[in-house]
Amino acid sequence: MSMNTFGHLFRVTTWGESHGPALGATVDGCPPGVEIDEATLQHWLDRRKPGQNKFTTQRREPDEVRILSGLFEGRTTGTPVQLMIENTDQRSKDYGDIAEKFRPGHADITYWQKYGIRDYRGGGRSSARETAARVAAGGLARAALATLAPQIEITGYMVQVGPHGIDRSAMDMTEIENNPFWCPDAKAAEGWADYLDGLRKAGDSVGAVIEVIARGVPSGLGAPIYGKLDTDLAAAAMSINAVKAVEIGEGMASAALRGSENADEIAMGPDGPVYSSNHAGGILGGISTGQDIVLRFAVKPTSSILTERRTITKSGEDTTIITKGRHDPCVGIRAVPVGEAMVACVLLDHLLLHRGQVGENQGQIG
């Protein structure tokens, strides 16, 4: 299987399966001299790891990351950085049923149709355990950004669970770390807890919408046409398991706006252009404006559920399936740190591309 790599200069290749001995990421193109250690990467992995509360899968993986190469005396050397996370809490017997049957909504059927062989244990390569490797690579990207563009801040949070959205007027970013949902609206988080409890008990699941904001991104990142920053951000978000839609800025809602409402007006401020609004989500013509970059993505409901569903076996017989085992009732919760990691990787990649092509020679205004 090819196509396991993303990025142009900061290139991340992930490897491994859910129930193999380990999985990880090989990161090539990280700038030299970046200070990094396992504890720093662990901080980001701990935010994604399973079993932290009753709203995420009860699989208990410490997700301990090891750095195997590319480091000397605590700093990157510019050579490939190999990141490895051991799988320690596999229960392959939980997955006996899906060896023969295809879970509706999961990748079992398409992996089989494509390859004619699949590691069904825990979903194999299609398991979202793979996203632990992305979070480790994202931690390295964040460390590089902290050196090259320390003003950049990347924050992810959930804005909708099932049909229940946050109240934007009640948004308080300091609340994000105070509830299990990375929710900036404390009242909405309380409602989500009851709602998800009910769903979990009923053996069902639900989808969610995650928003990631990147502040302090300099203007000029991205390139016209095939190298657009929004193209790469959208591809990065869409590559996350269960993601079915991606929006930048106003996104789908921009279709309902008039030009006079949508175009963000520009005025000259003391330090450069100031925009009256940010419908563009911080990107025009594929190039960052210097405003906040706003990305949203929707994840579908977890397809491995305890509710009986109709399906077929590998040999083509009609049957039904109930997926036991340990699954997230809403994968959106653990998708938040994954979304942040993907944004960090893409921004670092584009920062390096920009430095390579343009250096300091940016167009001046005023």
Ligand X SMILES: Cc1cc2nc3c(=O)[nH]c(=O)nc-3n(C[C@H](O)[C@H](O)[C@H](O)COP(=O)(O)O)c2cc1C
Annotated binding-site residues read 48, 54, 125-127, 241-242, 285, 300-304, 326
**Using rule CB under 6 A, residue 311 touches ligand X:** no
- Which residue from 160, 289, 302, 311 is in contact with ligand X, where contact means CB under 6 A? 302
In the three-class reduction of DSSP (H, G, I as helix; E, B as strand; rest coil), residue 16 is classed as strand
The CA distance from 75 to 280, in Å, is 37
**Using rule CB under 6 A, residue 343 touches ligand X:** no
CB nearer to ligand X: give 93 or 258. 93
The CA distance from 271 to 91, in Å, is 57
Stretch that binds ligand X, among 22-30, 64-72, 150-158, 234-242 (CB under 6 A): 234-242
Q: Quick one: which of 85, 93, 54 has its CA closest to 68?
A: 85
If you write DSSP's letter for every residue of 52-84 in order, what string do you get? SSTTS--------EEE-SSEETTEE-SSPEEEE
- Sequence length of the chain is 366
State in angstroms the smallest separation of the CB of 180 from ligand X: 14
Binding to ligand X (CB under 6 A) within 235-294 occurs at 240-242
State in angstroms the smallest separation of the CB of 7 from ligand X: 19
Binding to ligand X (CB under 6 A) within 108-137 occurs at 126-128, 131
State in angstroms the smallest separation of the CB of 158 from ligand X: 12
- Which residue from 232, 328, 340, 349 is in contact with ligand X, where contact means CB under 6 A? 328
The CA distance from 160 to 261, in Å, is 25
The CA distance from 90 to 52, in Å, is 17
The CA distance from 171 to 209, in Å, is 15
CB nearer to ligand X: give 131 or 291. 131
- Which residue from 304, 311, 341, 342 is in contact with ligand X, where contact means CB under 6 A? 304
State in angstroms the smallest separation of the CB of 38 from ligand X: 22
The CA distance from 121 to 93, in Å, is 8
Stretch that binds ligand X, among 9-17, 75-83, 277-285, 334-342 (CB under 6 A): 334-342
**Using rule CB under 6 A, residue 303 touches ligand X:** yes
CB nearer to ligand X: give 71 or 331. 331
Which residues bind to ligand X, rule: CB under 6 A? 57, 106-107, 126-128, 131, 240-242, 300, 302-304, 327-328, 331, 334-335, 338
